[in-house]
Structure 1
């Protein structure tokens, strides 16, 4: 069974809680079963589905729940929440995409913003949400690529490593560093006008294949914005090794001057 529930980020910091615990204990207001998929709709100002979770445990007592008090913005609501049973929701994926806004979801079968838990019964809505949780092309901020891309004629299949492909991490990266390429300093808006506005790739400084599954990506230290050309060169080996940002900068400068 698939569900949708709503989350108020003025009441509780869901992103930080998921970052620390990888799950949240939620007031159990529906007949959830272990293995159910629960999508979390973030209310204003986001007004979009942002989290995909799986029910890991049901009927949890308040004495067994995760101690997440520090993430409650409204302490009165935290105190009120310590009643009844809870369900443990394990984070599977998260995105920040215009495709999953309330208006777009209503175009694909959602009746309105969820006020309480609702079952997703419409096949069209279920498929649309599932399709858009693969957010590789979300918001014009492309994720990293792996070197085993497959080309067959004009068809390109891109294998995306899911250690950290969250559009939230990518969005934080460009909010921190901007849309200029770290290597060549190109900005797509300067070159292409509005067409290139807010477009950039995001590169994993440590190659994805070298990152263990338990590694938590730090968007400030591990991610950097780069243009597609420089991104491709960062994924091309020279003498058996990948170039660092600094090394590629030096190579670019040397060849530009000569």
Structure 2
């Protein structure tokens, strides 16, 4: 069985919890989930989109059988409330950032309304739409195409930039935009204000730690490591001056001069 459940990122940091552990012990309530069920998680405002695909690994757990995830709860009162009842373990399969998974598009393809509680996906048109577009292959708003696995040129020297699955998907990307906003952190450009509707939600994300230096076990902090910048400033951040790429602050000083 396939399900959709909803999540509020203002109450709980799902992105970090999934990234650090690969699973979340979720309140099961009275819904009859079964091991092996597929669960899509709909993120409420401001995202309003399907973002996580999980599989149910365990069901009917009590609070003594789950990990303590207090550190991920933004609302501590809700954390205390969350300890009652039965839980299930949701193991992350994939997280994406794709505008086709936004509520407005889901409603045009079989979803009746924004998910409030657990709902079975009974509509075949909706399931087919999710199966087709629940992927990052259609998302280009945040990362330029050169950040996919490819060869690219920097200062005349060819090098290979290999982006792992984490970076091609969006385990922290959407949270970075949600936290920092859509203005360039160097020049303050906002694409929607300049270009109107066509510029809505468009920005590049700059990695403070270069992608080619990120190891397999590196834990990205979306608040510190991922910074929104416009394409022009992004290019300048990857140009070397005296053998060194400038920092965000250094580039801002260059612009002021």
TM-score after normalising by structure 2: 0.67
Structure 1, unpaired ranges of 5+: 151-157
Cα distance, 1:67 vs structure 2: 1.8
> Does residue 245 of the first structure (1) align with residue 247 of the second (2)?
yes
Residue of structure 2 equivalent to 1:169: 175
Structure 2, unpaired ranges of 5+: 153-160
- C-alpha offsets along residues 44-75 of structure 1, whole Å, 9 cap, x if unaligned? 56543232222233343432112235625336
How many residues are treated as equivalent by the alignment? 236
In structure 2, the residue corresponding to 1:163 is in which secondary structure?
A: helix
Q: Which of 217, 220, 230 is residue 220 of structure 2 equivalent to? A: 217
Q: Which of 173, 177, 184 is residue 180 of structure 1 equivalent to? A: 184
CA-atom RMSD in angstroms: 4.2
In structure 2, the residue corresponding to 1:109 is in which secondary structure?
A: coil
Task: From the superposition, tell whether residues 249 and 216 of structure 1 become closer, same or farther in structure 2 (CA, over 3 Å).
Answer: same
Task: From the superposition, tell whether residues 96 and 216 of structure 1 become closer, same or farther in structure 2 (CA, over 3 Å).
Answer: same
Map residues 1-258 of structure 1 onto 2, 5 A cutoff: 1-8=1-8, 14-15=14-15, 17-18=17-18, 21-28=21-28, 29-34=31-36, 36-43=37-44, 46-69=47-70, 71=73, 72-74=76-78, 77-79=81-83, 82-84=84-86, 86-95=87-96, 98-130=99-131, 131-134=133-136, 137=139, 140-142=141-143, 145-146=147-148, 148=150, 161-164=164-167, 165-166=169-170, 167-172=173-178, 174-175=180-181, 179-180=183-184, 182=186, 185=187, 187=189, 189=191, 192-194=194-196, 195-196=198-199, 199-232=202-235, 234=237, 243-245=245-247, 249=251
Structure of larger gyration radius: 1
In structure 1, C-alpha distance between the alignment counterparts of 2:92 and 2:15, rounded to whole Å = 10
Maintained 8 Å contact 1:180/1:186:
yes
Task: From the superposition, tell whether residues 229 and 74 of structure 1 become closer, same or farther in structure 2 (CA, over 3 Å).
Answer: closer
In structure 1, the residue corresponding to 2:63 is in which secondary structure?
A: coil
